[in-house]
Amino acid sequence: SAHHHGHIDPARFRIPPEIRRWEYQNLKNPPPGRPYSLLIVGGPMTGKTSLARYIASQYGEVFEFDSKQGFRGYQRPYGCAIFHGFKKHFTFWKNVIGCKENWGGRVGGQTIRRLDWGIPSIITCTYEGDPRKWGECYRNYIKGNCVVYEVPSGSSLY
């Protein structure tokens, strides 16, 4: 986004314990099975993107999804992926949130080369863009495969 304030001094971040725990269990000390992704929901300019970049950058290369580029630039190995919101019915949302190991081919009318994935993602979105609002199947899948942190209203992550 045009106003990404990527220049926050890391010392200023106030990292909630829920996010620290997610980081420890899925990036620092990843499980033998599938990791969990992290969904950070909050108002604009609350530090969601900056914090996502700050945390992810400590664990190797970061894949930052860009809707125009899609997955074209994706080359393993990445430690973590960052998504700035999902457009409603983003075709690959389940594969991303569920940290699916290998996927590609034709998915929902889109063809994409097979990706060696299996990495956790940090998805940031506003309250309006919260994918849990899209319906019960989204809510249930996110609940089962994702840690969700909501930035309290009127508060920020730095």
Task: Write out pLDDT tens, residues 132-144.
Answer: 999 999 999 999 9
Which residue type sits at 149?
Answer: Y
7 inside domain? no
| Domain enclosing residue 42, as ranges | 36-150
* Segment 6-49, tens digit of pLDDT: 567 888 999 999 999 999 999 999 888 899 999 999 999 999 99
Which residue type sits at 11?
Answer: A
CATH of the domain at 129: 3.40.50.300
CA–CA separation, 128 and 65 (whole Å): 20
User: Structurally, how many domains does the chain consist of?
Assistant: 1
pTM for this prediction: 0.90
> Exposed/middle/buried for 132, CB within 10 Å: 0-12, 13-18, 19+?
middle
Please provide residue 123's backbone torsions phi and psi, each rounded to the nearest 5 degrees.
-110, 125
105 inside domain? yes
Torsion of CA 121, 4, 10, 56, to 10 degrees: 20
